[in-house]
Structure 1
């Protein structure tokens, strides 16, 4: 998971109101239900010491329908009387969260979206394709493309002229498959999807896949379900295939990063430098130096809520208040270690991976680094 969408949260000083709530099924997302949730969040923010303007901004946001249709949940970030970011969630949080602190609480997004890699779905037929982008924060249409519409249907005749016509039909399919493959590749480059799923007409799926550039074809899977036809009855099976592909992708990637992390940690016991860090002091130092490539986090780890000190800049983070002055923090404030490290990850383009239980680093926080530094 990358936190590039959190960029609007990086250039404001805070303090921040973070409200993460479940929105319920679409039929339950009524004005009365939203008002109750908004009022409860506003009251809890007041108990946490949030200013009136910020409380009212959150209340207004939560009483309006969630962006992106009817998601399962949403996370609202507000400061200085303004909602800065309102993120729809594809999965509902197990429990609601209301917080007012120096930094925005990004861990709920890791818990709810880190297992949701971005998927570019293409539903193809003989005349073109429509595209959908699915991520941990919902799904939306990503466009469509059309090729030639005639001739696209074969005949049942054995006549020589009809055989010639059928060859023209197949050539139309092939040209249309080229058009779809080119548009799919363009969308993939633009959105950077982790996986691609091709659904729809079996012959065209194959033709499109064979025309994709190597990097796109390497992350592409075909689904036997799904159709461009209106009212297609196998939408649920297609959704299942997409979810399975996304789950497999993130699992494979997480295992790969963990393997590299463990190999680097093993080096730390020897004489050579290791491109991995574990423990809050080492991670804070790596964050300041922009060395974190992948932040590993277990939200239930013992170190995630450990107190660190932060300034307004993502680089201004220290595990001791006395060090804050050397970093230029005029008014250092206490913050959770996970919030500070996630803010740094968002600012430097680092990846964030959720890991659980025995797979997690000691204390629940670790990082694979961009480069190693010799032991000091």
Structure 2
């Protein structure tokens, strides 16, 4: 997950209000339900010690959700009476949550707004194709391509002229498949879609796939549906879920392989909290892996205002230029996420892969692939 959008959260000191609110199904009572939710999370923040201005800002923001059509909900991050960031969620939270803490509570975003693979669906037939972008937040038309419209159908006779006509039909099909493949590759480059789903009859799908650039083939999924019907949401969600699971599994395999030291005795991956903190301070985390249910995720670390001021022991902060009485306690997952955001490294939740393989990796819930240069 690219975390660059979180930068505004680390440009100001805390404490921070972090709120996760799910969307309810449209109904006559939706506005009333949203007001009750807004009051509940505002009250929870006040109970945790949040200032009145920040509670009011969150209350207003959550109430405004009744005017939005977000399918899954939103997260809100506020401080000093202002909502600084309110990203939409790509999965609904298990329950509405509110946190008041020294650092913004960003770790849940890895699952609730994390891997959101965008699918470019191509409804293919012999005449061309129409494209559609589909993601967790809905879909939109992405254009169409029309190939040659004649001739398109074979005949059943064996006359020479008819065989010649059939050859022209074959040429038309091949020409149209090439046109669709070129247009699909261009649309993928423009939209940066993670997956390409080809919908249509077997021959048309295969003809287009065979003409796609080699570098796109590992993104292609074929759906044996008629091109005239829209791909069902559950079909798209199945493809997206499998992609997320496969990518998480690949990162776990990379992580396991990288734990062995290289020729210079340096490991390419670590999961001990002290080693993770050291790597964060030295800007050596190349990717952070998080398994939210792991015991180390909620372990307390000591932090200062500077992202490099993070330590396992409070006394260590003296060597980092921070007086002990200015140190704050924060969750390990949130502290390490702040570090990787400020150094431009990505992070990924490996829950999907852990559930599929029944392996608790990383063991404590936190791990990192390292860079040494």
TM-superposed deviation, 1:101: 1.4
Alignment counterpart, residue 334 of structure 1, candidates 321, 329, 335: 329
**Partners of 1:369 and 1:113 in 2: CA distance:** 24
TM-score by length of 2: 0.82
**Partners of 2:16 and 2:260 in 1: CA distance:** 39
Question: Hey, what does 2:286 align to over in structure 1?
Answer: 293
**Partners of 1:66 and 1:182 in 2: CA distance:** 42
TM-superposed deviation, 1:338: 0.5
Question: Hey, what does 2:184 align to over in structure 1?
Answer: 184
**Partners of 1:87 and 1:200 in 2: CA distance:** 35
Question: Hey, what does 1:254 align to over in structure 2?
Answer: 248
| Native 8 Å contact 2:46 2:55 kept in 1 | yes
TM-superposed deviation, 1:282: 0.9
User: Is 2:239 the counterpart of 1:245?
Assistant: yes
Question: Hey, what does 2:88 align to over in structure 1?
Answer: 88
User: Is 2:358 the counterpart of 1:364?
Assistant: no
Unaligned ranges ≥5, structure 2: none
**Partners of 1:291 and 1:241 in 2: CA distance:** 39
Residues 138-287 of structure 1 aligned to structure 2 (within 5 Å)? 138-141=137-140, 143-148=142-147, 150-151=149-150, 153-154=152-153, 173-225=173-225, 227=227, 229=228, 232=229, 235-236=231-232, 239-267=233-261, 272-287=265-280
Select between 196-205 and 362-371 the one with higher mean Cα deviation.
196-205
Give deviations 1:218-263, integer Å, cap 9, x for gaps. 2211111364x4xx3x643xx3333333333333333332233223
Change (3 A) 1:226 1:52: farther
Q: How many residues were matched structurally?
A: 363
Unaligned ranges ≥5, structure 1: none
Give deviations 1:185-234, integer Å, cap 9, x for gaps. 2343455444322223544432332222111112211111364x4xx3x6
Aligned CA-pair RMSD: 3.4
Question: Hey, what does 2:350 align to over in structure 1?
Answer: 354
| Native 8 Å contact 1:128 1:176 kept in 2 | no
TM-superposed deviation, 1:175: 4.5
User: Is 2:277 the counterpart of 1:304?
Assistant: no
| Native 8 Å contact 1:226 1:235 kept in 2 | no
**Partners of 2:139 and 2:310 in 1: CA distance:** 37
TM-superposed deviation, 1:65: 3.4
**Partners of 1:67 and 1:310 in 2: CA distance:** 38
TM-superposed deviation, 1:118: 4.0
**Partners of 1:245 and 1:85 in 2: CA distance:** 30
User: Is 2:316 the counterpart of 1:320?
Assistant: no
Question: Hey, what does 2:3 align to over in structure 1?
Answer: 3
TM-superposed deviation, 1:4: 3.6
TM-superposed deviation, 1:61: 1.9
TM-score by length of 1: 0.81
**Partners of 2:321 and 2:47 in 1: CA distance:** 31
Question: Hey, what does 1:47 align to over in structure 2?
Answer: 47
**Partners of 2:196 and 2:304 in 1: CA distance:** 40
